[in-house]
Amino acid sequence: MRGRFLIILVLGLALAGCATSRNDLPVAFSSETLAASKEVLLEKVYRNHSTPEMIAILVSGRVIYQKPEYMKVLKELYPDVKPTPVKAFWGLLIDEFIQRWRSDYKEPMDKIFLEEMTDEDLRIFSDISYRDYAKNSLKAVQGKSSSDFIKIDDAARRYDRSLKRTGSELAGSVFQNARERVLADPQILISTGLRVK
């Protein structure tokens, strides 16, 4: 009888843990996080998770994949660029976004993230206490799995969707600006290529 009671108790505790732990947030938000506006939280999201750098990589990869004809032209016009003209242009696309994201790309980027992410998502990805949780969850959801907390996973999915949407919607503008820089000064491919070797 006692053994059966212990088994039932253990099973009950296990089920209770499964029912609450993944839904609960692991730590409380700081008072600073709770008091901050969406715009302030978003700035912290960008800083805590190297968001502009991540988008720059997404944009550059999308452009290289979607513009095969332009890549062919680069190879024909600049065959001596090292390591390759395409890799140099890839580096230029990243430079273009990083150097001008605040002046040229921040407004549409902010709009997308604020549309996709909830207030709680912004708190999770901006609060320093949540940085490791958010990073682990982002890795998990990008790998089509899950972490230890459902709410953080949901926030990570919306953050990931924001990244991809921003990369998709800004790729055209970044490409046009990078292409104009090459037309104005083809030597920029050479200098960029030397840095991305």
Does residue 2 sit within a domain?
no
Per-residue pLDDT band at 22 (split at 50, 70, 90): low
Does residue 113 sit within a domain?
yes
Does residue 131 sit within a domain?
yes
pTM for the structure as a whole: 0.85
- Token digits of residue 195: 């840095």
What proportion of the chain, given as a percentage, has pLDDT over 90? 82
Does residue 32 sit within a domain?
yes
Coil, strand or helix: which one is 74? helix
Report the pLDDT value the prediction gives residue 147, as an integer from 0 to 100.
Answer: 85
Question: How far are the Cα atoms of 41, 48, 100 from residue 155, in angstroms, in the given order?
Answer: 14, 15, 27
Does residue 5 sit within a domain?
no
CA 53 to centroid of chain Cα atoms: 8
Report the pLDDT value the prediction gives residue 21, as an integer from 0 to 100.
Answer: 59
| Angle CA 197–101–74, to nearest 5 | 40
What average pLDDT does range 148-162 have in this prediction? 96
Question: Could you tell me the residue range of the domain that residue 145 belongs to?
Answer: 27-196
Per-residue pLDDT band at 6 (split at 50, 70, 90): very low
Coil, strand or helix: which one is 63? helix
Report the pLDDT value the prediction gives residue 9, as an integer from 0 to 100.
Answer: 36
Convert the pLDDT of each residue in 39-96 to its tens digit.
999 999 999 999 999 999 999 999 999 999 999 999 999 999 999 999 999 999 999 9
For the chain, the domain total comes to 1
- Token digits of residue 149: 């907390």
Does residue 18 sit within a domain?
no
* Confidence check: pLDDT of 1 > 90: no
Does residue 93 sit within a domain?
yes
Other CB atoms within a 10 A radius of the CB of residue 187 amount to 10
Does residue 62 sit within a domain?
yes
What average pLDDT does range 105-114 have in this prediction? 97
- HSE (side-chain half, CA atoms, 13 Å) at 182: 27
- Token digits of residue 164: 């991809």
